[in-house]
Every structure is written in C-alpha cells, then in structure tokens.
Amino acid sequence: MTRFSWAALARGALRGHRAWTPQWRSPDRPQPDYDAVIVGGGGHGLATAYYLAKEYRLGRIAVLEKGWIGGGNTGRNTTIIRSNYLFPESAALYDHAVQLWEGLSAELNYNVMFSPRGVLMLAHSHHDVQSGLRHVHANRLAGVDNEWLTPAEAKAFCPPLDIATPRWPVFGAALQRRGGVARHDAVAWGYARAASALGVDIIEGCEVTGITRDAAGVTGLETSKGPVRARRIGVVAAGSTSLVMAMAGLRMPLESFPLQALVSEPVKPVFPCVVMSNTVHAYISQSDKGELVIGAGTDQYPSYSQAGGVQILGHTLEAICELFPIFRRMRMLRAWGGIVDVTPDRSPIIGLTPVPGLFVNCGWGTGGFKATPGSGHVFAATIARGEPHPIAAPFSLDRFTTGQLIDEAAAAAVAH
C-alpha cells in the first residue's frame, strides 16, 4: 500500500502524478473458500472487514459487492455525523463511532475529511423544545456533549438562519460541537484500501444470489461469480437486507423506503455548520466543493425505487428557503435517492441471527453513515467472537420478541 505523506505527495507531483498505483486489489472472482464473507461493500461492510482483519486477524476474508463499493447509501447520503441520541444504548453506540471518526484519517492513512463543524438541531415548537432539552440533559448525563442554544445564540452560530419565519420560527436549538460531516466516498475508499492491504479480497460486480446452510448453520453463498464456502457470513446490505436474509429463510422486521438528497451549484463558503430540522425533514450543510448538500425525508410508502416522490423534495426546499432566505435564488444541480431499511423502533440491528454463523447489521434507516466506524468495529467483534460486542448487545434482533426496544422514533418526538 502506498503510504501517503507530504513527501509521497511531493514525489508524485514531481513525477507528473503518473506513478500512482491502484489503491486496493480488485480480484475478478472470489476464492472458493473463506473464513468470513461480508455481503455488501458499503462503508459498514468494508469497515467490518477491515477490523476483522486488523483486530481479529482472521485469515481469509472477502467483501462481496453486487455493484461498486460505496455505490449504495454510503455514496448517496448527506454525511451528517453526531452522537446526541436519547437513550444511553444509542449514545454509547454513536459516540463510539464519533471517537473513531476523530482519529480515522490517521488510522487509515487516508483523508476522510472529517470536519467537526457542529450540528445544530432546530426546535420549532414548545414540544420540540421539551424534547430537545430532554436530549441535552440525557446526553450530558451520559457524558456526550450537547448544549442548548437560545434562538439568538443559534443565529450567532449560523448567521444565514432566519429565526423568525412565520411557519417555522426557531424556539431554540441543540448543538453538538463534536458533530459534523465527512467525505463519504473517501470513507469507503479508505477502508477498502486499508482492508485490502491486510489481505481482504474486495470483489465488485459480485451479487449474492443465495445463502446455503446445513443443520449446523451457514455453509456458504451462491453468487453471480460462482459458489463460495464460508462458515461465517455477515450481511451488511442496507436497503436490500430483507432480500438477502430471505435467502437464508429469515424474515426481518424491516421496511424499505426511498430517501432523497440534492445538491446546489457550488458557491463560496457561506454556511459554517450543519443544520437539521427534524420537524420539517430538512438538513443542510456546505461541502468543501461549495455545494449546498440538502437532505429530505423518506417517502411515505415502502418501495425499492431509487427515485422517490418529487413532492418530498418540494416540501424540503420550501422549508430550506424559508429558514435560509439567502438561498432562495440558488439553483439545484442534482437529486438522487437511496433505499433505507427501517426498524419498528428506528434503531439498528447488529448481531447474531437464529442461523448459526449468519450475522446481520442493518436497520440504520436514515442515519447510519455517522455510525460507520463504530458499526464496523462492534460488528467485527461480534462476528469474530460469535457473541455480541457489549455496545452492540442491546441492538440484537431478538429485542423485537423480548420487547426491549430502543425507541429512538418516539424519543425524537417528531415523525421520523
């Protein structure tokens, strides 16, 4: 693996940037046999493979990706990172991720452009204020930074914000200063590069079409590039989880919805932080390229269409233009959708399944990018040890039969 440094970059520049080599190996086909196979080459799957190889030194690991790595939700999201969730289980999981984000570029020797510029979450009603304050207090008790701002303080932190609009007046805001954004493609590429250097095979264009099992558990997979034997399989297939798990005869407590985002033409730096309004399903930041990156809500109906309803975008843009009048004349360049899988309590599922050797990591809904390093880290431990990592344990699949839900949807006090 090329070691990136100022000296390496300078040498590359002096050679006209012609000497760079591919950043990860791309075997055309999988080997017939692996110690562990990860289904899905998004950020979570690649991170899982990386930590499996690095911390548990499993010998032969493959990531099978039906398209290209990062081409799923990892490359389609609005990259918001924060850990100020209500319940202690969630705060522990997401804050584990934030702590890993803080050192990730150095860990991977790859610039993932993590930018902790602060995430502001707006309150537009007294109900929002009560919920926001409850989150702030719970987070501080759990040792997670979160603070409450008055409307004037919110305006000072984010000058383009209009706090006195008639429809969405700002009554206050929660601010997590350690929150921010990162560059999504770089996260997938950085993990792929580091995993590949540790011997992980990353096979793109390789769709898993079946999961085989015997009385003892999983035995392997059928793929578009031939059969693969493995006694440990981790499914990290985001919007396709239900389809992949059905191959092993398991029905998942998931619904899949389109979720959309869009970007504007690039402009000079004008927006200093990340702002979210859960009430209106609008969230916005400015990329390092200068584009406004805007996220919308999910469609109301489950679907596997990656298009999404156009009225959802209209609703989001109306709110953005009202909250930030300076953007009213901006032109939007692109809009796209991803498929998110959503659990009944809006918390992820990480852990074992009723089929020995088959593990699942899914249900991150509209908010899994922020968890990428933490999710991969605890899922790798779970696969390697055959038992849940302590941080992952509350997020087991069987909570939907025991009733021990982690109801972040109800906790948010707004429709998710």
By CB under 6 A, the residues from 93 to 112 that bind ligand FAD are: none
Binding to ligand FAD (CB under 6 A): which residues in 325-384? 338, 340, 364, 366-370
Residue from 40, 116, 132, 357 touching ligand FAD (CB under 6 A): that is: 40
Residue 311: burial class (beta carbons within 10 Å; 0-12, 13-18, 19+): exposed
Residues 6+ apart with CB under 8 A from 367: 80
> Shortest distance, CB of residue 347 to ligand FAD, whole angstroms?
12
CB of 238 to ligand FAD, least distance (A): 3
Contacting range for ligand FAD; rule: CB under 6 A; set: 21-29, 101-109, 147-155, 237-245: 237-245
Query: Least Å distance between CB 380 and ligand FAD?
Result: 14
Is residue 240 part of the contact set for ligand FAD (CB under 6 A)?
Answer: yes
Interface with ligand FAD (CB under 6 A), residue total 39
C-alpha distances in Å from residue 61, one per residue of 37, 57, 223 = 6, 10, 16
Longest dimension (CA), the chain: 64
Using CB under 6 A as the binding rule, whether residue 178 contacts ligand FAD is answered as no
Could you tell me which stretch among 111-119, 120-128, 162-170, 259-267 binds ligand FAD (CB under 6 A)? 259-267
Using the rule CB under 6 A, is 115 a contact of ligand FAD? no
**Binder of ligand FAD out of 30, 190, 295, 394 (CB under 6 A):** 295
Distance CA 72, CA 44 (A): 11
76 binds ligand FAD (CB under 6 A): yes
| Binds ligand FAD (CB under 6 A): choice among 72, 172, 179, 394 | 72
Backbone angles phi, psi at 330, to 5 degrees: -70, 145
Interior/surface letters 249-259, b for 16+ CB within 10 angstroms, e for the rest: ebebbbbbbbb
CB of 368 to ligand FAD, least distance (A): 2
Residue 103: CB atoms within 10 A of its CB come to 11
Q: What are phi and psi of 333, to 5 degrees?
A: -95, -45
- Tell me the C-alpha to C-alpha distance, in Å, between residue 401 and each of 53, 56, 97, 307, 398: 33, 31, 27, 34, 5
Interacting residue ranges for ligand FAD, rule: CB under 6 A:
39-45, 64-67, 71-74, 76-80, 207-208, 236-238, 240, 244, 259-261, 295, 338, 340, 364, 366-370
